[in-house]
């Protein structure tokens, strides 16, 4: 079974709703679809 990705993350003390970010991006003129990818950069 593949684990589900989180829908809410905490970044620098702020809770970020990934679905809300996707919605705002998708609502921009000229944007047909959007998705948010969370990654941790080490270094």
Q: What is the pLDDT of residues 1-43, one digit of tens each?
A: 777 777 898 888 999 999 999 999 999 999 999 988 888 877 6
pLDDT at 7: 85
Q: What angle do CA 10, 14, 17 make, to 5 degrees?
A: 65
Nearest partner of 18 among 35, 39, 41, judged by Cα = 35
pLDDT, position 43: 63
* Model-wide pTM > 0.75: no
């Amino acid at each position: 079974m593949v684990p589900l990705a989180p829908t809410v993350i905490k970044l620098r003390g702020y809770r970020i709703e990934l679905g809300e970010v996707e919605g705002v991006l998708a609502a921009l003129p000229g944007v047909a679809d959007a998705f948010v990818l969370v990654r941790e950069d080490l270094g």
